[in-house]
Amino acid sequence: MNRALDRDRRSSSQVWLDVVSAVDYLSRGHRPGLTVYDALEEALRWREATDRLFHHYLGGREGRYVITGAATDGEQRFLIARRVEPELLESLAA
């Protein structure tokens, strides 16, 4: 087991406490009636949609996209992708 990774990883208990806290916060105003079960179902739907998009657009073939980086802007997170062309594949292999 990699101890460095373990030190950085939050406990499962803490993750679930964060989920319950977020659902509690949202259910009080933005999403009345939201339950942890609803939030998990929604997260799974988002994951499935993301997986379909990635499967459709990402890959090493010309015309598809390859993720070349990640970025942040405040609290927002972004993946940076570039269209696959021979020059890009050559630069990534170097």
Question: Which tens digits make up the pLDDT trace of 22-63?
Answer: 999 989 998 999 999 999 999 999 999 999 999 999 998 888
- Per the CB < 8 A criterion, the answer to whether 84 and 60 are in contact is yes
Distances, alpha carbon 34 to alpha carbons 14, 25, 40, 42, 72, in Å: 20, 10, 10, 10, 28
pLDDT band at 15, cuts 50/70/90? Answer: confident
Domain ranges of the chain: 1-57, 61-94
Predicted local confidence at residue 45, as pLDDT: 95
Average pLDDT over residues 65-87: 93
pTM of the model: 0.60
d(CA 31, CA 37): 13
